[in-house]
Structure 1
Amino acid sequence: MSAFHWTWEWATEGCDGDAEVADTTARLALHVGPHNLMRNEDVWTRCPQDAVLASAYPLALWLASSWWRLLWEPLPADGMPFSVEWRMAHELAAAGYGFVWPQVLFATDGNQIRVWALASRPDSRQSVRYLTGLEQATSVSPDEFSREAETLITATLDRLAVRGHHRSDLRVLWDLVCADRADGKQTAYRRLEAEFGFEPDEAPEPFMERALRLLQTMGPALSEVAPAYGKGSQGPAAIEAIIRAPSLAGQPSDPRPSGSPPVSGRGSLRPWEKAVQAARGVRAALGHREGPLDDAVLYELLGIAAHDAKSWSPPAQRTKAVLAEPLGGGRYRLVPRRGHPTSRRFDLARLFSDYLWMEGTGSSWLASSDLGTARQQYQKAFAAELLCPIDALTAFLEDDYSDVAIDEAAGHFGVGPMAVNALLTNNNILVRGVGGDCGHRNALYPV
């Protein structure tokens, strides 16, 4: 059985509600690895139960209606709250229909579907209190996620048919989803809609025409940028403006020995683990295992003329992404987004890491943004380790993690204090904080 799967047992007595709801009453559970995210106790018995009594119909309807966004829309960019609309497409509680669902969230990182879950608060006054949460997000392959969701949807439709409901809203919606899945061109269209935050057929036609032209130009790199703009912005027009912005000419090169393994294909390592290995490999090849990395070395890695880099000015309008357009022959037009020297160093280090991620072919667009995709996680971790190696950082700090010491370390390595804090937190040297606005991811779900 899959490590991620739904289970259900049809009940003989139906829940209150419409016929489709009542006739699909079941004892439902959601298993993620060893965890049952629907283990619960109710207010009447106060006894733990391995399944919750609810209707499968609203759950299946939510999975079908959110299908494309669940598979292709990532978390909002760093620092951005979860909008109500985004949460309706990604949080299981949005299945609604008056049932109490567990606090579970699904979002893609571009490679895997990430799953977050919180147990109900001990003082919860809802009729059902869920007992299981996840200490950190877990990953499910998109194929596994979609297969298990389809199994539940199909089982619910079969149950409806047995009970005489042959033309439900779920039936109509699922037929549309299946038709789109069977058409490769339409699947690509739905994916692009979802990446920009739209429901199927919600995006204006001119918007999607420009988005499709961008997709043809940029290829997979568009997926790393589109969600950062989304439906509430100019979308494709804003991305086109980045492409036209003042740029730097560069020709990146990989200093590691020939035959080094591709960064993006290092087995089961997580993106940040791949990043740390790759960054250390680059430093070793450069002969700079520790200490600050000069700007000149960074420019050399990207093949940028130092005087061009120093005279470059950012676009007048703040952008949400860094792009590099391949020009052929290994050459690129590099478009950083920030003028502050420290921020620009980080942008350039991330672009170089993306060059390695794309296997240094020189033929693919490079893209950085504040999204939480696997590719962006890798870039941030690579840039941090390349510019400020954790071993060198801890040696410099000498067990002093005060704000003053962190500021001094940031200045020494040429990175921002936030990057130092992130490095110390990600290496379990500082404790990760949870809290803040309820709309922010860390207030709701452990990372």
Structure 2
Amino acid sequence: MINFHQSWLDIGSGAPELANTTAQLEIYVGDLNLTRNENIFSKTIQDHVIVSSYPLALWMLQNWWRLLYEPLPMKNNPDVSWRVAHELGAANHGFVWPKILFASDNKNVQVWSTPSEANCQQSVKYINGTNNHTSIPISDFRQALIIFISKVENRLEDKNLKGKDLSALFSIIKEEEENEGSKIYRKLEALMGFDPDECSPNTMDYAINLYREHGESTLLELAPIYGKTGNTEPLKPIEQLINARGIYGNPTFTTKQKENSANYNSPPWTLAVESARELRHEIGDTKKPITTKMLFELLGIPSSNIDNWKTIGTPNVSVGIPTSKKYIKFLPRKKHRISKRFELSRYIGDYITTTNNQWLASTDLGTSRQKYQRAFAAEFLCPINSLIEFLEGNYSNEAINHAASYFDVSEQTITSLLANNNYIEHQPLNGLPYHIGYNQMSTWPLPRK
């Protein structure tokens, strides 16, 4: 859960909207106070920071759709447009904000934070940061923003200030959320990395047609890759995938993800492990390594077509497109033998969670669906219980290398399985998923109008 607590002050300066919304602000993610800081001048530790709430509320509204729905991009250095929409420091207006980053995974909004650098020369030096990201359900995150923005709006009204920009934008967003067509439109814009009304009408018409024909689940995974930052006209590569030649298969297993209300709030890796174990039970093999031949058989790909399983070019995604004859057209992207095995397993995991008419899609994004696929593939190819039995308590590099060879997976897969199951120490991200110097986050241009 995320909470924004503000205690109003009457000591603000500047424009009326800024001065009258000056507050002692505290931001909590769970029990962690992300605004706890050392005041460089007074040499005191405080849980709050004195800022104006108005620019933060306005920043939330200006980036509403992207905050809720746009995922972390695949590249390590997101462009300025992405960062302005997701880093809290972009609220700017001369205040020293904590380094906090928000990015959606289609199910949750993930929150990263890191403390100020040791040599920080700002008036406020933030102390706390997250060791890894914290996931907050989108509905909870949205509600926290609404509560914060509403308090700012009410404060302006109490001070007889209209706060036209904020109130007008807040009203527009409420109306758009209540209209299903408008909500889909804004969500598609955000998934492609566009601000409201930044994308051309022709592209949006094309996006909506794809949405209607191929479903939201497909666009959730592909639009962020083939959107604004792509090297071609937005979403056009999807059409190329539709028209491309592929390898056809008809999955032969029956395991499917059971639908129940508890599943929605469960971490994707928990559900993935359950599915992997259930499929292992279905095929009658709960411990031994899975052969590549078995992976193809599970996907219903005839042995005569296996040699044609080749990647053309350097695609950003691998997909499985359902056809009218109940077959799936697979378009792979991995070339290395070990990577191919993992890709085949991700297809299997994705098929377990989709309906008959949904695309299968594997990417390098950090969406909830992709997390599920990776966790499924790791557990299916290398069951953690079998791995621990094989290693016999030896977690040395040599033993990990031996296990990778035995299960025919990468050493990274072995290491991740051991770390995720607390057999070896997990290396924390120590803050943000990409490197940013503090000054880079505290010198943003003024928020967009």
Q: TM exceeds 0.5?
A: yes
Residue 317 of structure 2 is aligned with which of 316, 321, 329? 321
Match of 1:244 in 2: 243
Match of 1:9 in 2: 7
Task: Tell me the distance in 1 between the aligned counterparts of 2:120 and 2:428.
Answer: 20
Contact conserved, 1:435 with 1:442, CA < 8 A, in 2?
A: no
* 1:63 has 2:60 as partner: yes
Q: What is the SS of the residue equivalent to 1:9?
A: strand
Match of 2:206 in 1: 210
Match of 2:70 in 1: 73
Contact conserved, 2:418 with 2:424, CA < 8 A, in 1?
A: yes
Match of 2:338 in 1: 342
* 1:289 has 2:286 as partner: yes
Residue 441 of structure 1 is aligned with which of 400, 411, 433? 433
* 1:166 has 2:162 as partner: yes
Match of 1:153 in 2: 149
Note closer, same or farther for the CA distance 1:319–1:269 as it changes in structure 2 (3 Å cut): same
Task: Tell me the distance in 2 between the aligned counterparts of 1:206 and 1:417.
Answer: 46
After superposition, the C-alpha distances for 1:227-252 in whole angstroms (9 at most, x for unaligned) are 12330212311122222222121112
Q: What is the SS of the residue equivalent to 1:64?
A: helix
How far off its partner does 1:364 sit? Answer: 1.8
- Give structure 2 stretches of 5+ with no counterpart: 438-449
After superposition, the C-alpha distances for 1:140-180 in whole angstroms (9 at most, x for unaligned) are 22222112212221222222233343253323332332332
- Which piece of structure 1 moves more, 20-29 or 238-247? 238-247
Task: Tell me the distance in 1 between the aligned counterparts of 2:3 and 2:429.
Answer: 30
Q: What is the SS of the residue equivalent to 1:193?
A: helix
- Which piece of structure 1 moves more, 321-330 or 393-402? 393-402
Task: Tell me the distance in 1 between the aligned counterparts of 2:27 and 2:192.
Answer: 29
Task: Tell me the distance in 1 between the aligned counterparts of 2:261 and 2:345.
Answer: 17
Task: Tell me the distance in 2 between the aligned counterparts of 1:430 and 1:121.
Answer: 28
1:416 alignment partner AA = S
- TM-score under structure 2 normalisation? 0.88
Note closer, same or farther for the CA distance 1:365–1:265 as it changes in structure 2 (3 Å cut): farther
User: How large is the Cα RMSD of the aligned pairs?
Assistant: 2.6
Task: Tell me the distance in 2 between the aligned counterparts of 1:336 and 1:389.
Answer: 24
Match of 1:303 in 2: 300
Match of 1:84 in 2: 80
* 1:225 has 2:219 as partner: no
Note closer, same or farther for the CA distance 1:268–1:60 as it changes in structure 2 (3 Å cut): closer
Contact conserved, 2:132 with 2:429, CA < 8 A, in 1?
A: no
Match of 2:372 in 1: 378
How far off its partner does 1:374 sit? Answer: 0.9
1:421 alignment partner AA = T
Instruction: Report percent identity of matched pairs.
Output: 38
Q: Tell me the matched-pair count.
A: 434
Residue 26 of structure 1 is aligned with which of 23, 27, 34? 23
Task: Tell me the distance in 1 between the aligned counterparts of 2:349 and 2:185.
Answer: 29
- Give structure 1 stretches of 5+ with no counterpart: none
Bigger relative contact order, structure 1 or 2 (CA pairs below 8 A, ≥6 apart): 2
Note closer, same or farther for the CA distance 1:193–1:161 as it changes in structure 2 (3 Å cut): same
How far off its partner does 1:31 sit? Answer: 2.2
Task: Tell me the distance in 2 between the aligned counterparts of 1:414 and 1:400.
Answer: 18
